[in-house]
Amino acid sequence: MRVIRKYANRRLYDTQQSRYVTLEDLRRLILDEEPFRVEDAKTGEDLTRTILLSIIIEQEQADGDAEVFSNDLLQQLIRVYAMSQPLPLARYLEQGTRLMLEQQKRLQDQWQQAMRHTPMELMREMAEENMRFWQQAMMRSPLDKDDDESR
């Protein structure tokens, strides 16, 4: 597990690569599915969750067209926290998000498979197969032809 240390000056230090990193660098680690833990440099306290929330906030602010959390949704989440017995929302969101990502990947794989069998792709594959056939035919030695004729 990669350890990232957060210093009092708010800088993040990657102990594996021995360099300072940004939230964007950590976002890339997440996209690459590389596990890491962020800890306070002085106390060792786990700050991973806080940093992950910071990455989400940065994403929300960076791309207004791709907002995931609408104002209404954020207000509803705040209401869940205020309930006397909060709903088991974390597990539900984790499972729902995992399912959504798996379905998205499956859909992309199916789309790529469908695109592979377009008429142009089929013609290209046939042309390549014909080329291999003729290359093999041309590479036969003249002795092979003599053997074929004598039979």
Higher pLDDT, 2 or 128: 2
Average pLDDT over residues 6-23: 94
Average pLDDT over residues 57-86: 82
Residue 149 falls inside a structural domain: no
Task: Give me the sheet containing 2-6, strands edge to edge.
Answer: 19-21, 12-14, 2-6, 36-40
Average pLDDT over residues 18-46: 95
Q: Is the pTM of this model over 0.75?
A: no
Cα–Cα–Cα angle for 62, 89, 55, nearest 5°?
A: 20
Average pLDDT over residues 118-125: 77
**Domain residue limits at 93:** 85-140
Question: In angstroms, rounded to a whole number, what is the distance separating the alpha carbons of residues 50 and 62?
Answer: 18
Residue 9 falls inside a structural domain: yes
Strand ranges, E, within the chain: 2-6, 12-14, 19-21, 36-40
How confident is the prediction for the chain on average, in pLDDT? 84
pLDDT in tens, 99-117: 888 888 888 887 777 776 7
Q: In the structure, what pLDDT confidence band is assigned to residue 149 with cuts at 50, 70 and 90?
A: low
Name the domain count of the chain: 2
Is the pLDDT assigned to residue 52 strictly greater than 90? yes
Same domain, yes or no, for 63 and 89? no
Question: In angstroms, rounded to a whole number, what is the distance separating the alpha carbons of residues 25 and 11?
Answer: 12
Is the pLDDT assigned to residue 63 strictly greater than 60? yes
Q: Residue 34 corresponds to which tokens in the numbers above?
A: 């590389």
Which pLDDT score is estimated for 131?
A: 86
Same domain, yes or no, for 90 and 63? no
Same domain, yes or no, for 49 and 92? no
Is the pLDDT assigned to residue 47 strictly greater than 90? yes
Q: By percentage, how much of the chain surpasses pLDDT 70?
A: 87
Of the candidate ranges 4-8, 34-38, 146-150, the one whose mean pLDDT is the lowest: 146-150
Residue 77 falls inside a structural domain: no
Residue 74 falls inside a structural domain: no
The H or E element containing residue 146 is helix 142-150
**Amino acid identity at 30:** I
Same domain, yes or no, for 54 and 95? no
